[in-house]
Structure 1
Amino acid sequence: MEAQQGSLPEAGPDAQKEDNTRAAPEELFTRPPLEERSTEQTIRSKGLPPLKRKETKLAQKAANPWQHLGITLGLPMILLFDIVVPCIIYYTWFDKHRADWVRQCKAEFPGQGPCPIPKPEFDQNILGAAIASFGVGELWILVARVWRLFFHQEECAPLLSRNRWELDATSWVYAVAMIMALIPFVIGSSLVIPKLYLYSPSFIMGFLGTLMFITTCLPFNIPIGINSHTRGTHLRPFIYYAAEDFIAVDGLQDREFRVRYNERYESNKMFRRFFLYLTWWWILGVCVYEGAVSAVIWTLEFHYAFGLSLGVLFAYIAIWAAVTFVWTKIEMKREHKAYLAGAFDV
């Protein structure tokens, strides 16, 4: 009787599933949030080992030092003409004049000490002669870099370079730094101001340190294009630009490196933070150098300060460069591990 009154037979499981699908079709296409559907999230939730991914290597070319002999000879030229030759010129003069001074003291004031005749430390001629070799090594490197950028523009010039004369940022900074160094050299030798003369390399470091400070503490959008970055982009740390140019041009890695290098910086927060810290490390080095060389110049006699001030300069560069090299190796390994684990923050 109840069946005759229009009651329907009970639907089976398949019928109920079909009915639910028709009743709420939106439920069939609802997807979980993107972060819950990612491969990395699935791997972590299931306790699986991370994916083995291949990280793009920045410097991929096997550079041979003989490929660009001019750049390869740059460091020996700097050591020769910035340390060896000036020291030979000055100390040859000093030893000769000191020997003459000793003989004059014995002849005019026998047995008297200290000798009332002033001991010769320098004169205008020797300061001018010693300056003649300074900067030859730096000029050699600048000419070698400009030569490669000019005649191999398509290979190694910045990505924004449209003609041969649009050099990289390092070449322009290098040229200005050389001019900065010549000012105290020329004034100090012509007016016989020995302390100003010895401070000449400090002018270079002070100039570079100021640029480092501006790029880290006064970030702004650049009003002109720098290297591979268009006008209006955010200013990057000084060491970033220096490393890009040095590896691309001096390291013979060319424009392909500039592309990979820029992409790594934009996509990897660890990479960006590393260059910020590295620039601060070199700012610290400039401060340490300026303090150390000032102590040498103001506390020692000129003939001691002449050689030791140069020793302080190259010792500072050697120590900071060695630490930078080791630090970079460690950082690259750390970023590689973070990349494989998918743990770095972009």
Structure 2
Amino acid sequence: MANMAESHHGSRIPRTESHGAPEYDSALDCARRSMALTRDEFGSLPGLPRLEYRLMEHRMKLFVVSGLLIFEGSLLPIILFYPLWYATGLRHGILFAIITSFFGLVSGLEFAHRSWRLIHKNDKYRPLDGTRWRFDFTHWTLSICYTIMTGILIGASIPHEPLVRPLAIPVPLFFIGAGMLCIITGTMSALGMRTACKVSSIPKGAPQPPYVLTAVEDVVGVDGGGARLFRRRLLERYKASKAFRRLIAELNWFWGIGSVISGAGTLAAVWVIPSQEIAYGVGWGEPLVFFVVWTTITAFWTRRGLRREKKVWAESTGEKTSVESGTDTQNTN
């Protein structure tokens, strides 16, 4: 499998020289480990870095925050729209002012919280080799998306008779943007292209990773409490394991293509459905259906991929493993 480019005391990140793996040249702290790591440190398979992130320890926060974000970004607009539209005599401008005032309440608080974690003088949650005011790649992406979405909601609400169809498209546009980011970075990764700027913990000029890797690093590292330790070990795992890189690439294309198709299809439906009231519900409701289905498939796909990775790694090193028995299912291994 992979070989080390530097020793424990080197300042360069591990580079994988075989199987077409990417080479990361950087002063990152994440790479000062040997492939001959002990069984105690990384579990049952020597040399395969463990992510050491226990999902169950963070399940309450993840459940509450995810639930509130889904409620705010899909269910709440629908719950408020139809009763206020059909059962009250409110002027439509006031109706949408009420709905818009709730948009971003939960996501805004969560965004402010992750902003504070990233700019705090303690660099616990910042990207590796990151500076205080540069945030991470996902934070900048979300900043742009939130600005565009909020602008659409405010602009379409201003006319005396609000523009109902444009008010239904912010979430589909978000999925199109996120999907295109996955497709572009996936293509760059497949072609061996390099980053034009620092991408979270990946330095400028390093091979471009698929965006799914960056999203996992940033979301789990900051919002999920994994911190720099998770960022470091995720990149170690990505560099060391060809099967893990394959899994990340598969999930990147799965989310990229799926998000673009879902977003574009919903966007088209919003404009062609004769009833603007029905179109509004489709615009806010369909992305939730897509997200639930894709997330469920991803959970099973990831578990299967990690087991396959461990099996391949064990076979390549001649180790015995209990992968097939499904052990450590509560951990992100």
Same fold (TM over 0.5): yes
Residue 209 of structure 1 is matched in structure 2 by: 179
Map 1:1-346 → 2, pairs under 5 A: 53-54=45-46, 55-60=48-53, 64-65=57-58, 73-97=64-88, 123-151=92-120, 153-163=122-132, 165-191=133-159, 192-219=162-189, 220-297=193-270, 298-342=272-316
Higher mean C-alpha deviation, range 128-137 or range 57-66 = 57-66
Q: Give distance in 2, aligned partners of 1:261 and 1:72.
A: 22
Q: Which has the larger radius of gyration?
A: 1
Call closer, same or farther: CA 1:274–1:66 in 2, change over 3 Å. Answer: closer
Call closer, same or farther: CA 1:204–1:295 in 2, change over 3 Å. Answer: closer
Call closer, same or farther: CA 1:312–1:167 in 2, change over 3 Å. Answer: same
Aligned-partner residue type, residue 182 of structure 1: T
Aligned-partner residue type, residue 316 of structure 1: F
Call closer, same or farther: CA 1:155–1:84 in 2, change over 3 Å. Answer: same
Q: Give distance in 1, aligned partners of 2:114 and 2:92.
A: 36
Q: Give distance in 1, aligned partners of 2:187 and 2:58.
A: 37
Aligned-partner residue type, residue 278 of structure 2: Y
Q: Give distance in 2, aligned partners of 1:128 and 1:138.
A: 18
Q: Give distance in 1, aligned partners of 2:252 and 2:113.
A: 26
Contact persistence 1:209–1:286 (CA under 8 A): yes
Contact persistence 2:50–2:237 (CA under 8 A): no
Secondary structure in 2 matching 1:194: coil
Q: Give distance in 2, aligned partners of 1:325 and 1:300.
A: 37
Aligned-pair CA distance for 1:327: 0.7
Call closer, same or farther: CA 1:300–1:326 in 2, change over 3 Å. Answer: farther
Q: What's the TM-score, normalizing by structure 2?
A: 0.72
Q: Give distance in 2, aligned partners of 1:313 and 1:53.
A: 39
Secondary structure in 2 matching 1:64: helix
Aligned-pair CA distance for 1:312: 0.6
Call closer, same or farther: CA 1:60–1:76 in 2, change over 3 Å. Answer: closer
Call closer, same or farther: CA 1:336–1:152 in 2, change over 3 Å. Answer: farther
Contact persistence 1:158–1:228 (CA under 8 A): yes
Percent of aligned pairs sharing the same letter: 21
Q: Kindly indicate whether structure 1 or structure 2 has the higher relative contact order, using CA contacts under 8 Å at least 6 residues apart.
A: 2
Aligned-partner residue type, residue 64 of structure 1: E
Describe the superposition over 1:158-209 as per-residue Cα deviations: whole angstroms up to 9, x where unpaired: 111133x232211111111111212222222224322222112122122212
Q: Give distance in 2, aligned partners of 1:62 and 1:327.
A: 16
Stretches of structure 2 that go unaligned for 5 or more consecutive residues are 1-43, 319-333
Q: Give distance in 2, aligned partners of 1:79 and 1:326.
A: 21
Aligned-pair CA distance for 1:72: 5.9
Aligned-pair CA distance for 1:313: 1.1
Describe the superposition over 1:255-285 as per-residue Cα deviations: whole angstroms up to 9, x where unpaired: 1222221122122222222212211101222
Q: Give distance in 2, aligned partners of 1:290 and 1:229.
A: 29
Aligned-pair CA distance for 1:61: 5.3
Instruction: Give the superposed CA RMSD.
Output: 2.7
Aligned-partner residue type, residue 174 of structure 1: L
User: Could you say which structure has the higher helix fraction?
Assistant: 1
Q: What's the TM-score, normalizing by structure 1?
A: 0.69
